[in-house]
Structure 1
Amino acid sequence: MAIWRLYPVVAPSDSAWLGRPIWEEVIVRADTAGMARVVASKLEYPKREGGVGNESHSFNSGLDNERLYWIKKLSAEEAARFDDSPGNPAVLSATPLGSESEHA
């Protein structure tokens, strides 16, 4: 399975962010770039316990927006730094903008 890197390409001050979190880098294991965006967007899903009646929650992550984040498939050498074994699609590393630490 391929390893993908999502990174922002819009200035943090741009209004296109609409108050969404900005990630400096998100590393994802997935079969395709599209699936990598879907997996990465789960980082921003709101934590909700159940619902009321038949309500549905609308959700729009910045990580699935091609104008905010570009995506690049990592080379085998780059990918080995994050993951050297096969597995299910997953976020391997996520660094919020302005943070030195990684969260997975």
Structure 2
Amino acid sequence: MREKLKIYRLVPLAAPDDPNWQNAPPHGEVVVRARTAGDARLVASDAELDFTEIDASPAEGNSTDMASAFRNEKLYTVIEDESGRYEADGRRGVVGGRVRTDNIISTQL
């Protein structure tokens, strides 16, 4: 039996000049198919580039996942989307918007 997923919108909450954006670039609104609102944050952050995928140094621990703007409640709010614009059936993942991949800069030129 396939798990029941929902559609969530991750919407920027902070002003463009908010200093919290220094550590993570804004992506604009992103729509995901996920289990819960918390899972929606994970789905969106998983779509970002992680330092382990390029030759950059980690900001903390073994991954930069925790530095994602999507995980910061001061930067993004999560809203369940019941509009029907997106099908809830399907795989867990990003279904709308654009997740930037320039959130980490390579050390090679």
The structure whose residues are more often strand, as a share, is 1
Matches within 5 A, 1:76-95: 78=83, 80-83=84-87, 86-95=89-98
Q: Which residue of 2 aligns with 1:99?
A: none
Secondary structure at the aligned position of 1:35 is classed as helix
Secondary structure at the aligned position of 2:47 is classed as helix
Identity, % of aligned positions: 35
Flag the 1:21–1:49 CA change in 2: closer, same or farther, 3 A: closer
Q: Which residue of 1 aligns with 2:16?
A: 12
TM-score w.r.t. the length of structure 2 is 0.69
Q: 1:68 aligned to 2:72?
A: no
Q: 1:57 aligned to 2:60?
A: no
Cα distance in 2 between the residues matched to 1:2 and 1:70: 16
Flag the 1:32–1:57 CA change in 2: closer, same or farther, 3 A: closer
Point out where structure 2 has 5 or more consecutive residues left out of the alignment. 56-60, 100-109
Question: Which of the numbers 23, 27, 33 marks the counterpart of 1:23?
Answer: 27
Q: Displaced runs of 4+ in structure 1, greater than 4 A? A: none
For 2:62, the aligned partner's letter is S
Secondary structure at the aligned position of 2:28 is classed as strand
For 2:89, the aligned partner's letter is P
What number of residue pairs does the alignment pair up? 89
Q: Which residue of 2 aligns with 1:37?
A: 41
> Is this contact kept in 1: 2:33–2:94, CA < 8 A?
yes
Point out where structure 1 has 5 or more consecutive residues left out of the alignment. 97-104
Cα distance in 2 between the residues matched to 1:86 and 1:66: 27
For 2:94, the aligned partner's letter is V
Secondary structure at the aligned position of 2:73 is classed as coil
Once the two structures are TM-superposed, the CA of residue 46 in structure 1 deviates from its matched residue by: 2.6
Cα distance in 1 between the residues matched to 2:23 and 2:16: 10
TM-score w.r.t. the length of structure 1 is 0.72
